Amino acid sequence: MIEQPPTQPLNEAETPAPSELLAADEPATQPPAPSEADSVDGGDTWVSRLIEAARTGTELDLTSLGGSRDPAEADQWPAERTVPAAAIRTALLTRDLNADPHGLRLHGAHITGQLDFENATIPCELALGLCTFAQPILMNSSHLPALTLTGSHTPGLDLDQATIKGVVDLRHITTTGEISATGVTIGQLVMTGATLTKETGVALNLAGATVD
């Protein structure tokens, strides 16, 4: 089934608190605060932390490091909440990752650079909730079990020809560019409370999409 986004953003009173958007099955673990250099430059520090989180199923909730939980205020977040997109890619494409069934769950991160999983096979579920992205997310022709971007802000999302066996959870996502999912094959698409805007053209393209 496909849940279409409303034509107008939800009123604040109708929108769940950001805390309700986080996974509730396990308590989040507060990550150790990296140094500012590690946060900004990425390097092996974030790669190691993300690999460990994926292997153990530990949820990394960076909102505990200070600043607002609202991605619209990411410019006021501390540097410790900055995660390079390249570190996420490297972690999830690590050979013999042996990820936990919960996959990688990262919340409240300011993700710099472009998250690029074009043509990639991601071996576990990926949840990036309440995050903000500097550039559009590229996941065209990718393969993964499930994708969650609940409450996140991104300038665009490319899912063209991707295969996602489970749920694509875009509840309360905010985009300022196109979500393109032409020819995508997914198990379920959820977009309740999504706010999609684009100055020209379409904000959501599902041409040829298959939803099982």
Using CA atoms, how far apart are residues 87 and 94, in angstroms rounded to an integer? Answer: 11
pLDDT confidence tier of residue 44, bands split at 50, 70 and 90: confident
Would the pLDDT of 75 be above 80?
A: yes
Would the pLDDT of 12 be above 80?
A: no
AA identity, residue 87: A
Tokens of 127: 């949840």
User: 122 with 142: CB under 8 angstroms?
Assistant: yes
AA identity, residue 208: G
21 backbone dihedrals φ, ψ, rounded to 5°? -85, -10
Using CA atoms, how far apart are residues 106 and 139, in angstroms rounded to an integer? Answer: 17
Q: For the purposes of burial, counting CB atoms within 10 Å of the CB of 87, is it exposed (0-12), middle (13-18) or buried (19 or more)?
A: buried
Average pLDDT of the segment spanning 122-139: 98
Using CA atoms, how far apart are residues 72 and 57, in angstroms rounded to an integer? Answer: 27
Would the pLDDT of 197 be above 60?
A: yes
Q: Cα 18 to the chain's mean position, in Å? A: 14
pLDDT confidence tier of residue 18, bands split at 50, 70 and 90: very low
Average pLDDT of the segment spanning 53-68: 96
Q: Across the chain, what does the average pLDDT equal?
A: 86
User: 206 with 179: CB under 8 angstroms?
Assistant: no
Higher pLDDT pick, 17 / 206: 206
Length of the chain: 212
Among candidate residues 170, 160, 153, the one with its CA nearest the CA of residue 139:
160
Note the pLDDT of residue 212.
83
Would the pLDDT of 8 be above 80?
A: no
Helix ranges (H only) for the chain are 36-41, 43-56, 85-92
pLDDT confidence tier of residue 110, bands split at 50, 70 and 90: very high
User: 165 with 145: CB under 8 angstroms?
Assistant: yes
* pTM exceeds 0.85, yes or no: no
pLDDT confidence tier of residue 3, bands split at 50, 70 and 90: low
Cα angle: 150, vertex 151, 152; to 5 degrees? 95
User: 126 with 104: CB under 8 angstroms?
Assistant: yes
Would the pLDDT of 6 be above 80?
A: no
